[in-house]
Amino acid sequence: MRPDAKYAAELAADRLAADGAVVTARSPVGDAGVNIEVLVPSSVWKAVGRALDGEPWRYRIGGTGLWRRVPAVGYLWADGSQLLLQRRICPGLLPPWWFAPLEKRLWADAPRRAPADILLTAAVQALRPGAADRDARTRFVAGCSDAAVVRQARAAAAGCRLTGTLDRALAAAGDGRWSGVASRDGRASVARVLSAMSRRIRPTRIRAAVQADLRIGLAPVTVRIAGVETYSPPGSFVPTPDAETLVDTVIAELDGHKHTVAIDCGTGNGAIALGIARHRPRAEVVGVDPDRRAVRAARRAARRAELGNARFLPGSLLDPLPAWTRGRVDVLVANLPFYPPARRAAIGAVAEATIVGEDDDGLGLHRALLAAAGSYLSVEAVIVLQMFSEQWASFARELPRYGLQPAATISSGPFSICRAVRVPQPAGGTS
């Protein structure tokens, strides 16, 4: 990105500011991208959500179910920028009205984005119970370099009963010891008890919800893949942009065919199947997954996108396929769990059952799939799989066992989108 160009999230935040929202934080994200936090008054919360629906974001996190208690929604764009909409300053386990006087100030001062209010907000976020915000600490320390702003922040803190919080944050900025919690003055002990409680909440997903920790894998996510919006409930797999490469690969295979059948095995929330169905309206697409919640989400997304040529069946591998598909499958695409069990530590918050494969090398499900696939494939069928590139290097050698041979692959970071085709039968042979 050019240094003078704005990230998608910044442009969106500028548009929201015109409707009365306040940008309370801007932090860099890794090597590229930016994270913008925006406070949105409840009077315009719905209108802001509708406005953002028109923006070309890739992921929307939160916004339903448990998350209603903590009104926060995150948006991620393909350029690496992120926008977090919050109806209130994130309270952790504190009562949501705890910071109401500060919010009132922020909205009253919105047109000029008063730096003292923003500094005080960073102090509150840096010390909030349970889910301390490290970026807020960095922003607070940087903001303290302007003595005039610190003076104004003191005056603002007095009006919001946050003098104690600001003093603790200023002390921490000096000695680096960020202990204590954000509190309304005189209620620090209540805040401390709530903070300790929030750290003990199990399971992790509920703790994350209470602390407004919007993380992929722990919160519900809406994803846009190949022009279709799909929904992943917490605990089910959230499609990555590689799903789009899988869709592109499959629709290229279906070019020139009039009526075709495509199977998406391990469909999850249906992103790949729905992308194929959208771009090849004459194809019949069937998605299969044992995760019933993900299958329900896929069916809902198909109805919403009016894709009647996609259907979703709960079950394992090809077991639920109807009899009419035998010998008629032109493309079998499968992004099944492929992480070797020994690498499970690397998967973070993602549910293990969606990522960690079978057998020591992680490819047990792929072997079972290919063993079952023979009677379903048409003569010119193509199989499209995703796995680590080094896994494909050895798995490709097993293909002849299933009457298959490797074809061209596409690499994407450490992964490969791998193609396999049927071994041609000698003239007069049977398929």
Ligand X SMILES: C[S@@+](CC[C@H](N)C(=O)[O-])C[C@H]1O[C@@H](n2cnc3c(N)ncnc32)[C@H](O)[C@@H]1O
User: Which residues would be at the binding site for ligand X (CB under 6 A)?
Assistant: 237, 239, 243, 265-268, 271-272, 288-291, 294, 316-317, 335-337, 354-355, 365
Q: How far is the CB of 276 from ligand X (least distance, A)?
A: 11
Nearer to ligand X, 23 or 223 (CB): 223
DSSP string of 8-26, one letter each residue: HHHHHHHHHHTTT-EEEEE
Considering the complex, state which of residue 12 and residue 250 has its C-beta at the smaller distance from ligand X. 250
Nearer to ligand X, 149 or 271 (CB): 271
Minimum distance, C-beta of residue 235 to ligand X, in the bound complex (Å): 10
How far is it, in rounded angstroms, from Cα 140 to Cα 121? 9
Nearest residue (CB) to ligand X, 8 versus 336: 336
Tell which residue, 52, 84, 91, has the closest CA to residue 70: 91
Q: How far apart are CA 254 and CA 331, in angstroms?
A: 8
CA distance 18 to 38: 12
CA pair distance 372, 378, nearest whole angstrom: 14
Query: Which of 48, 355 has the CB closer to ligand X?
Result: 355
| Tokens read off for 138 | 């960095």
Among the residues of 280-363, which ranges form H helices? 292-304
DSSP 227: T
Strands 329-334, 377-388: pairing kind: parallel
- As measured in angstroms, the least distance from the Cβ of 143 to ligand X is 41
User: How far is it, in rounded angstroms, from Cα 271 to Cα 134?
Assistant: 34
Residue 48 or 321: which CB sits closer to ligand X? 321
Shortest distance in whole angstroms from residue 310 CB to ligand X: 13
**Count of residues in the chain:** 431
Min separation Cβ 53 and ligand X, Å:
22
Q: Which is nearer to ligand X, 152 or 316 (CB)?
A: 316
- Packing angle between helix 271-279 and helix 292-304, nearest 10 degrees? 30
CA contacts within 13 A on the Cβ side of 309: 18
Q: Tell me whether residue 48 is exposed, middle or buried, using C-beta atoms within 10 angstroms of its C-beta: 0 to 12, 13 to 18, 19 or more.
A: buried
Tokens of 204: 């992790």
C-beta of 208 vs 271, nearer to ligand X: 271
* Structural contact between residues 337 and 353, judged by C-beta atoms closer than 8 angstroms: yes
What are the beta bridge partners of residue 332? 263, 383
For the bound state, the minimum distance from the C-beta of residue 240 to ligand X, rounded and expressed in Å, comes to 7
Q: How far is the CB of 250 from ligand X (least distance, A)?
A: 12
Residue 339 CB, shortest distance to ligand X, in Å, is 9
